[in-house]
Structure 1
Amino acid sequence: MELARCDFLNLASARSVFCEDYAEARRAFLAAADGAGLTVDSRAHPKRGPHGEALACDVVWIGPRAARRVLVLMAGTHGVEGFCGSAILTDWVMGGGADRLPDGVAVLLIHAINPHGFAWLRRVTEDGVDLNRNFIDFSEPLPADEGYGDLAEALIAEAQTSPDWQALQQYQLQRGRMGLENAITSGQYSHPDGLFYGGKAPTWSRRTLESVSADYGLADRSGLCVIDLHTGLGPYGYGELICDHPPASKPVSYARQWFGDSVTEPLCGTSTSGPKRGLTDYFWHQLVEDRGCMLTLEFGTYPFDEILTALCADHWLHAQGGIDWSAPHARAIKTRLRHAFYPAQADWQEMVLFRGRQVVRHALAGLASLVSW
């Protein structure tokens, strides 16, 4: 694909940054970086994509290496959700973002932290692990099951590609809608073939993120803002800023000062997301401390039941063994999952770009306001 420099005022013309697959998205991001004269630090993944393509997490540092304040933008934590995050990163670079940095502020772009999931149209990593449930202390006993075991058979069974809705509705009658969603999504460590599985050890993507943060000295900066880009939760096209820092903490104060009252908090019950285990957020919280904030920018797509159906079918498919990428049933399942997390439609794409640009602009202004540092 050919990408001309984005017209930063025209959302419709900028929609070319949305790509058809991981390989095209990577090419677009690398081309944008090259066009802006930026150096790419590529962390090669040990496996390949469905067409034999190389996989990597591509990292770009923009601005002075000694900058005391840094904005981190991360895409692809949940693989297939990377279409959105990749577009936001590429759009910002192509729109001349590197030329408009505040004094003393740098930006770190992390493109496709879970490249295997992005390429194979999966939400999980190459070992079936949800990276956003993988950040726990594995030297301690694994977290106890909080309801997933009661639903595991209803979600993924040998003879079905969709959930057993009758069983799920029965559970909902007993525990309520939020009880059902939390049991499914909060993070489980007992069913490796299941949804939202946190794993038994740090994944390649987790280790890569830890090494990137160390290599770029993020813990030594005096101001940090981290935005992790996601899709699939909330109203169609709306970008919700989710803050998992402890309520009334300094990072929450920064989040509200910089981004306004649209910031939501799962721990206060104001978010479309409930409390989760093993989030990447908790890794970032340790680095940010009281020197900024970490937020998830979550773009809504379709209702929970549609998302769940697509996820269950994908997990069922991979539970059968090796994937024939060209098989009609596999393509149908993958197409459905891709659509669930990436509606390739003009209205959704334009809402994503508008909100993405807005959040990046506010983050940079917020970091610039830390004059005391």
Structure 2
Amino acid sequence: MPIPQRSAATRYFSGTYAEARAKFLDAAAHSGAAVESFVLPGHRGALGEALATDVALLGALDAKKILLVTSGTHGPEGFSGSGTQIATLHDADLLARIEQAGVALLLVHAVNPHGFSHLHRTNEDNIDLNRNHIDFGAPLPVNAAYAEVEPLVLPATWPPTPADDAALAAYVEKHGMPAFRNAVFKGQYTSPDGLFYGGTAPSWSNQTIRAILRKYTASATHLGWVDVHTGLGPYGHGEKIYPGRNTPEDLALAQSWWGADVFSPFSGDSASANVSGPVVSTAYDECPKNARIALMGLEFGTVPEPEMLYRLRADTWLRRHPDAPAAQRREIRAQLRDAFYCDNEEWKGMLLGQTRVVLLQTLQGLRKA
């Protein structure tokens, strides 16, 4: 029986982490993928469920060419990334093309399962995973401006008072919006309950993604990695962000695969800030040294940036005030979820269509490499 048009996109998406995980594992089994699960120890989900990063592999474990798709780096982003991964596992035409090209498809579901389930952008330790994948044997990155900004973006009470808003506006007026954005979004390593905290040691998710890469890309000569994100840029548009090394050769490779509309944070033309320690940077550490690596953060827009930052501030404030009234807690959680996941047919369809194009482009890049 044909699936009604209204549910064509929706059927791949989920309302909770637990539902998303079950759908992903079912889809992996349906496609014949080999599955491995990495369970987060010492923590349970919002519904009491186990929390895990799950891996599905279609193709040979010793494949030379690998198409890797990751989801849920920033918690509630997982609703969208999971939906695109599940849709891919049900896409018989795309899977046949991947198999015929001799490429292995590696899907990593819920890089940050705790944040996905509990509706936090950060992990169980308030760590932003895209600030955590650095060399902790070296001095930590310094963001001196953050200390002055923190009390302005995280006031004592929520919502901010008119005086709080005025103080923040005065800072922006004095220093300029670019300086404010850099102070906030760059990441910081000094305030464990603050915004965009990078941690002081590798997180569980950091260690897990490295273990996955060491096992599943051990024989790789070419890797195309697409990390699905949401929250920045125009509504429904999938910006192709290059998050790799700042070298002309690596950026040129990404643009040759994915087009001239690949933007890089270090060039100043991307919706993303130039940060230290993104998850995808682990490819340079853990994949074979001679492997050609093409990296993309596929970022789908949801709400305007000022609104996104406001909701992230509320989320972080709530971490500091777990005794907040239940109604306020629910409202902040719901608003954060909605900031990362537009639960409507139009937006979901935009995600699925653009993601499929990117995966086909990645496949072509790998096939011709």
Q: What interval of TM-score do these two structures reach, taking the shorter chain for normalisation? A: over 0.9
- Are 1:78 and 2:77 matched, yes or no? no
Aligned to 2:112: 114
- Are 1:50 and 2:49 matched, yes or no? no
Aligned to 1:278: 277
| Cα distance, 1:244 vs structure 2 | 2.7
| Cα distance, 1:146 vs structure 2 | 3.4
Describe the SS at the equivalent of 1:25.
Answer: helix
Does the 8 A contact of 1:6 with 1:14 survive in 2? no
Given residue 328 of structure 2, which amino acid in structure 1 is its aligned partner? H
Distance, in Å, in 2 between the alignment partners of 1:6 and 1:44 is 34
Aligned equivalent of 1:92, options 79, 88, 92? 88
What's the TM-score, normalizing by structure 2? 0.92
Given residue 296 of structure 1, which amino acid in structure 2 is its aligned partner? G
Aligned to 1:61: 57
| Cα distance, 1:349 vs structure 2 | 0.9
Does the 8 A contact of 1:6 with 1:94 survive in 2? no
Aligned to 2:258: 259
Distance, in Å, in 1 between the alignment partners of 2:27 and 2:321 is 39
Distance, in Å, in 2 between the alignment partners of 1:342 and 1:24 is 15
Given residue 36 of structure 1, which amino acid in structure 2 is its aligned partner? S
Describe the SS at the equivalent of 1:48.
Answer: coil
Summarize deviations over 1:21-56 as a string: whole Å, max 9, x none: 101111111111111122210111111011211111
Aligned equivalent of 1:32, options 27, 35, 45? 27
Describe the SS at the equivalent of 1:117.
Answer: helix
Describe the SS at the equivalent of 2:353.
Answer: helix
Distance, in Å, in 2 between the alignment partners of 1:365 and 1:84 is 24
Describe the SS at the equivalent of 1:99.
Answer: helix
Distance, in Å, in 1 between the alignment partners of 2:206 and 2:143 is 22
Aligned to 2:308: 307
Does the 8 A contact of 1:5 with 1:94 survive in 2? no
Summarize deviations over 1:279-300 as a string: whole Å, max 9, x none: 1232224438661311100001
Aligned to 2:241: 242
Describe the SS at the equivalent of 1:353.
Answer: helix
Range moving further from structure 2, 182-191 or 167-176: 167-176
Aligned to 2:9: 14
Unaligned runs of 5+ in 2: none
What's the TM-score, normalizing by structure 1? 0.91
Does the 8 A contact of 2:143 with 2:186 survive in 1? no
Range moving further from structure 2, 189-198 or 286-295: 286-295
Range moving further from structure 2, 51-60 or 63-72: 63-72
Given residue 181 of structure 1, which amino acid in structure 2 is its aligned partner? R
Does the 8 A contact of 1:161 with 1:316 survive in 2? no
Does the 8 A contact of 2:62 with 2:218 survive in 1? no
Distance, in Å, in 2 between the alignment partners of 1:71 and 1:11 is 30
- Are 1:360 and 2:359 matched, yes or no? yes
Range moving further from structure 2, 112-121 or 159-168: 159-168
Summarize deviations over 1:160-191 as a string: whole Å, max 9, x none: 34483323322222332222111101110111
Given residue 75 of structure 2, which amino acid in structure 1 is its aligned partner? G
Summarize deviations over 1:89-132 as a string: whole Å, max 9, x none: 00000122433314321111000011000000000000110011
Given residue 85 of structure 1, which amino acid in structure 2 is its aligned partner? G
Does the 8 A contact of 2:73 with 2:110 survive in 1? yes
Q: Percent identity?
A: 39
Distance, in Å, in 2 between the alignment partners of 1:77 and 1:195 is 16
Aligned to 2:123: 125
Aligned to 2:320: 319
Distance, in Å, in 2 between the alignment partners of 1:171 and 1:156 is 14
Distance, in Å, in 2 between the alignment partners of 1:141 and 1:118 is 30
Does the 8 A contact of 1:71 with 1:225 survive in 2? yes
Does the 8 A contact of 2:57 with 2:106 survive in 1? yes
Aligned to 1:337: 336
Distance, in Å, in 1 between the alignment partners of 2:283 and 2:159 is 36
Aligned to 1:182: 182
Aligned equivalent of 1:159, options 137, 140, 157? 157
Distance, in Å, in 1 between the alignment partners of 2:59 and 2:3 is 20
Q: How does 1:201-220 map to 2 (within 5 A)?
A: 201-216=201-216, 218-220=217-219
Aligned to 1:146: 144
For residues 170 and 295 of structure 1, do their structure 2 counterparts lie closer, same or farther at Cα, with a shift above 3 Å needed? same
Distance, in Å, in 2 between the alignment partners of 1:346 and 1:288 is 41
Given residue 187 of structure 1, which amino acid in structure 2 is its aligned partner? G
| Cα distance, 1:309 vs structure 2 | 1.3
Unaligned runs of 5+ in 1: none
Distance, in Å, in 2 between the alignment partners of 1:323 and 1:153 is 19
| Cα distance, 1:248 vs structure 2 | 5.0
Summarize deviations over 1:311-368 as a string: whole Å, max 9, x none: 11111112124789xx222111100000011111221111111111110111011100
For residues 159 and 264 of structure 1, do their structure 2 counterparts lie closer, same or farther at Cα, with a shift above 3 Å needed? same
